[in-house]
């Protein structure tokens, strides 16, 4: 029964892991993975990358975009969950939930289209407003000063409602007698949020935060690849997009694999490390 699945895992997951050895070789298509000559020195491609001007730029971009998404992306869903929880009108609550979950299912291509409609320099809604108000059009999508905000903003828009689900679940798990006791003691709604609801979801918040730390080098390939353009490479190019261009468009397989391996290795360390941290915190809190 396991056989088809195992074959899948071996072919598409484990053979590529073996394939990373091309990061240590001077790979060429003719000879294939096994017969391509070893690079000399063995870490040649890594050195090339470390010494290239891309290195610090890519790392900074990847790191910054991730951290911004983490910092600004976590609070809105928590606030959303609190608000939904406080909402007493059932039909309205489920209506808002339905509406705010929806963007989660739209692809990044669609979201990029929406951004174009709102922000494009020639006919975007925002720029029309600016022009009507006597200002000049701003090239939001091709300007280095706005690009990261747009990335983070569109991600928040996409995930606002969906991200709230897990916090709502955590809130639902809070013992209702706590609220009754607080009400008897004369606590208002804000006090109850502050002293019962927020501490009640604290473990979930910290757990998610730490788990997200493990993926800090991911930054969201598809979103960036779809939205970026040559004018904003300086602030938008991340490890994954660079690997994609170098490997598949310039056919520099070994160098691209080396960078991919570098990223995967650091990612592994971060995931394992943050998992350990999560466990320690999980015990430390309660």
Partner 1 sequence: MVKSTNDRIANAVVFIILLVCGLVAVFPLLYVLSVSLTPFSEVLKNGGFILVPRSITFDAYHKLLMESNIPRAFGVTVLVTVIGTILNMVITALMAYPLSRKQLPGRNLFLMMVVFTLLFSGGIIPTYLVVKSIGLLDSIWAMILPNLVWSFNVLIMKSFYESLPEELFESARIDGAKEFRILLQIVAPLSVPVTLTIGLFYMVGHWNEFFQAIMYVTDRTLFPLQVVVREILIQTQQPLENADNMTPSETLQMASVILASLPIIMVYPFLQKHFTKGMLLGSVKG
| Contact yes or no for 227/115 (Cβ under 8 A) | yes
In the bound state with partner 1, the residue whose beta carbon lies nearer, of 71 and 110, is 110
In the bound state with partner 1, the residue whose beta carbon lies nearer, of 19 and 199, is 19
In the bound state with partner 1, the residue whose beta carbon lies nearer, of 47 and 125, is 125
Asked if residue 41 has a cis previous peptide bond (ω within 30° of 0), the answer is yes
Interatomic CA distance for residues 212 and 199, integer angstroms: 20
In the bound state with partner 1, the residue whose beta carbon lies nearer, of 63 and 225, is 225
Q: How far is the CB of 116 from partner 1 (least distance, A)?
A: 6
Q: How far is the CB of 43 from partner 1 (least distance, A)?
A: 17
Q: How far is the CB of 60 from partner 1 (least distance, A)?
A: 21
Interatomic CA distance for residues 97 and 91, integer angstroms: 10
CA angle 267, 270, 275 (to 5 degrees): 125
In the bound state with partner 1, the residue whose beta carbon lies nearer, of 14 and 194, is 14
Q: At what angle do helices 198-213 and 147-172 cross, to 10 degrees?
A: 130
Residue 264's nearest CA partner among 40, 13, 2 is 13
Q: How far is the CB of 68 from partner 1 (least distance, A)?
A: 20
Q: How far is the CB of 47 from partner 1 (least distance, A)?
A: 18
In the bound state with partner 1, the residue whose beta carbon lies nearer, of 188 and 199, is 188
What count of Cα atoms within 13 Å lies in the side-chain half-sphere of residue 115?
27
Number of other residues whose CB lies within 10 A of the CB of residue 199: 12
Q: How far is the CB of 247 from partner 1 (least distance, A)?
A: 4
Write the DSSP string, 171-209: HHTS-HHHHHHHHHTT--HHHHIIIIIHHHHHHHHHHHH
């Amino acid at each position: 029964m396991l056989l088809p699945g195992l074959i899948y895992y071996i072919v598409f997951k484990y053979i590529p892991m073996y394939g990373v050895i091309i990061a240590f070789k001077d790979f060429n298509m003719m000879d294939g993975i096994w017969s391509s000559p070893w690079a000399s020195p063995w870490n040649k491609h890594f050195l090339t990358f470390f010494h290239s001007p891309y290195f610090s730029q890519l790392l900074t971009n990847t790191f910054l975009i991730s951290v911004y998404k983490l910092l600004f992306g976590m609070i809105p869903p928590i606030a959303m969950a609190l608000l939904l929880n406080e909402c007493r009108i059932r039909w309205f609550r489920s209506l808002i939930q339905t509406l705010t979950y929806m963007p989660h299912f739209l692809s990044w291509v669609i979201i990029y289209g929406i951004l174009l409609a709102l922000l494009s320099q020639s006919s975007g809604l925002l720029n029309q407003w600016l022009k009507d108000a006597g200002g000049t059009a701003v090239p939001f999508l091709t300007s280095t000063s706005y690009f990261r905000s747009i990335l983070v903003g569109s991600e928040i828009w996409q995930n606002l409602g969906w991200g709230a689900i897990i916090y709502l679940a955590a809130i639902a798990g809070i013992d209702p007698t706590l609220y009754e006791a607080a009400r008897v003691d004369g606590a208002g709604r804000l006090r109850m949020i502050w002293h019962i609801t927020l501490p009640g979801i604290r473990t979930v918040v910290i757990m998610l935060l730490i788990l997200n730390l493990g993926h800090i080098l991911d930054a969201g390939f598809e979103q960036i690849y779809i939205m970026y353009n040559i004018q904003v490479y300086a602030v938008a190019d991340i490890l994954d997009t660079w690997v994609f261009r170098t490997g598949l468009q310039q056919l520099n397989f070994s160098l691209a694999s080396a960078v991919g391996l570098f990223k995967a290795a650091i990612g592994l360390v971060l995931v394992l490390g943050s998992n350990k941290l999560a466990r320690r915190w999980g015990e430390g809190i309660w």
